[in-house]
Chain A
Amino acid sequence: MREMSRHRLFLLALLASIGCSVAPIAHADDFSSQNYQVLAPVITSGGGYTSSSNFSLLGVISEFVHDTASSLSFASNPGFAAYPFVSTPVVGATGGNALVNLSWTAATGVLGYSVSGYSVGKSSISGGPYTFTSVGNVLSTSVTSLTNGVAYYFVVRVHDPNSIAIATSSQVSATPTAPAPPPSDSGGGGSSGGGSAPPPSTQSAGVNFSGRAYPRSTITLLQDAQVKASTVADANASFQISLTNVSAGNYIYSVYSEDSAGNRSGLLSFPVSVTAGATTNITGIFISPTIDVDKSQVKQGDNIAIFGQSAPKSSITITVNSDVQLFLQAKSDAVGAYLYNLDTSPLEIGSHSAKSKAAVAGEISDFGKTVGFAVGDQTILKKAAPKCSDLIGDLNCDGHVNLIDFSILAYWYKRTLANNGIKADLNHDGKVSLTDFSILAAHWTG
């Protein structure tokens, strides 16, 4: 009996010692303290993420020397912040007859994450639990067999090739609605026997947009490239825009915001199919952070400030594109401002660029605009550029890239460039072609 309890005691002691010796797995996002730093991080990969037939990574990524990998299809990114991530989709939901039509933007995987499919979670309770159904690698689906008049809540999960969920959208809701009864006096319109477009409806619809921008910033909404509405975000950077009397049809909606320094975000676009008489809810819009630098050229070894604005208390990842890609971490403050002083000692002489993305409350934005700087033998402070040269595509220097600039570009399309037309050649290849229009479209402000 005494021997039994001695054995039990030994077993318990053994288990306790094992429990104490196993270090908990830390995620890159977990380090937020300013009082300590991690010098020798170890990231557990989880295994199974390699696709190469002659290279497999199943164990632990420890510190390694840069450029030790020789495989052409395998890249290594040193730095603790260099971990894969995927942007969360913007999701739209429209109620139909006993169904809800869902559509979402493509999630973008970075640093090894590739998106191979999506699943849709459904619940009749806000916040879940959700019942997930895999829908494949598509960007829209219809959830059927629903009860009209009951509100349903949906999330979209993003899956990697191993079917592991790597991101989940914010929740969107919609209520299926029975169609309005046809007018009693309708008697015409015989069947043609052939194909035809869906019957037109004069019933208008509504579209609600919600998401995050920057605290107290102005958000501009474009409908098919033209400014439709604008609003101001609250102190938490949340915003909502509602459109009413929208005709049924397919639209491209885009949003952008402007930070407190006047820097604009990139344009975030999503296609929306508006159904007559129904309301479409678009949620999870996360406008990517703005970014700027304090020097156009920095002396090698000096610091350069990389700063911008995002949602408050966001984790900001800044990537610096150089020979060695750097991944830097910053945190935005209560007004959404972030700052990273980059020591340029490791950067080679030449041109570099930086961009940033934000993560907060489980949502991850896409990367925003890119800012360029040079590393040289002297420091040149960045001057406040005149708006015209600052904004690519602003051909008439009015601070906007819109229909007027499009018309100027269209005038020079396939013409011999001369005088003022040279400015229309946005990629400086000596002609105005589809590429210049693509550049204009990417910098559109409406």
Chain B
Amino acid sequence: MITRIQFFSFVAFLFLVSPTAASAATISLQATPTRIGAGDVVRVSVLLDSAIPTNAFSGTLQYPAALLEPVAINDGSSIISLWIMHPTVPVTGEPIAFAGITPGGFSGNAGMLFSVLFRAKAAGTAEVSLAGSEVLRNDGVGGIEPVTVHPLALAIGSKSSGGYVETPDLVPPESFTAYLGDDPQLFDGRKYLVFMAVDKISGIDHYMLAESRVPSFLHSFFPPSWQRTISPYAMADQNLTSTVYLKAVDRAGNERVTIFPLSHLVTVYEMLSLLGILLIVVFLWQKGQGRRRRKNL
């Protein structure tokens, strides 16, 4: 009987001293697969649970560089629509920083922020965690939502056990739109294009861009000159007389091209030049006509 009372007292004590669950977002790190060996690739996903709509997220993913080497970032199924700071594969083992927003907000379970493909370098236990994480509410004032982070302790065996295998991405990025902007402070007031494409499987790798005044049916003779670019892009042709071809390329190499049409066929200068030439031609023709008339007389 005393044992039972002691037991219930202990349970009641545990209940009282345990922190009460407040409304908070949770960021957890999940490994796929959970059992890996040295040399294997593992996918570590950064997942968000939020009971209330949240719309801005930032943080830094920390990992032991002696045990894990980041090889790729996948934002294919991310709930983040716009990246302020896109997570990138670091060159010398630095932490992976990220910041982004979800217009309208996200509430739900296991919303993917992004995932990192790591190659296990050696056997041991790799502690992967998130530092400085910030989650803001979709309340119109950027209210702070408390965050609980569940880090990951990844056991790496000495022998390979297969690891994570990326399945081939056969689908091109989603269709996307480019927007023209101009702002006195950006690019010294020059016109620029902003764009953002989404690829649901492997994620966007990079963008290519070409400006051309040559009509598309002549591209086989005069192919446009593609160059790698990022958004926003300050347009080379500020007169908007060129068609801009924009290509989103995913990590598997699939491409989606969008076209930003030209606004004017010719520039004002070209128009004046053409008018001048036309006037000269008319003048010369009139002069010729007059000479002919005088001859006939």
Contacts and interface: CB of A to CB of B under 8 A. Distances in A.
Q: Do A and B bind each other?
A: yes
Interface of A: 103, 105-106, 108, 138-140, 192-200, 202, 222, 224-227, 247-250, 252, 254, 267-269, 271, 369-370, 392, 395-396, 402-404, 406-408, 410-413, 419-421, 427, 434-444, 446
A411 B196 CA distance: 16
Interface in B230-280: 231-232
30 contacts: A106-B107, A139-B109, A192-B163, A194-B161, A195-B33, A195-B162, A195-B165, A197-B166, A197-B167, A202-B170, A222-B103, A224-B198, A225-B102, A225-B196, A226-B176, A249-B77, A249-B201, A250-B200, A254-B103, A403-B82, A407-B232, A411-B186, A435-B136, A435-B141, A437-B56, A441-B82, A441-B138, A442-B104, A442-B105, A442-B138
Contact of A441 (B77, B105, B194): B105
Contact of A200 (B79, B167, B174, B183): B167
Contact of A106 (B51, B56, B79): B51
Given A192-B165, A200-B167, A224-B198, A434 B103 contact: no
Contacts of A198: 167
Given A194-B164, A200-B170, A438-B138, A404 B103 contact: no
Residues of B in contact with A, size category: 35 or more
Given A438-B136, A446-B103, 19 more contacts: A192-B162, A193-B161, A193-B162, A194-B164, A195-B33, A197-B201, A198-B167, A200-B168, A252-B106, A267-B104, A411-B232, A419-B184, A436-B142, A438-B101, A441-B104, A441-B105, A442-B55, A442-B138, A442-B140
B144 to A, nearest CB: 8
Interface string B6-37: 00000000000000000000000000111010
Contact of B107 (A139, A434, A435): A139
Contact of B103 (A225, A396, A421, A427): A225
B186 A408 contact: yes
Contacts of A370: 140
What 4 pairs between A and B have smallest CB-CB spacing?
A249-B200, A194-B162, A269-B104, A195-B33
Given A195-B32, A224-B81, A252-B81, A420 B185 contact: yes
Contacts of B198: 224
Interface of B: 32-34, 36, 40, 43, 51-53, 55-56, 58, 76-77, 79, 81-82, 84, 99, 101-109, 111-112, 134, 136-142, 161-171, 174, 176-177, 179, 181-186, 192, 194-196, 198, 200-201, 231-232
A136 B163 CA distance: 34
Contacts of A108: 52
A199 B168 CA distance: 8
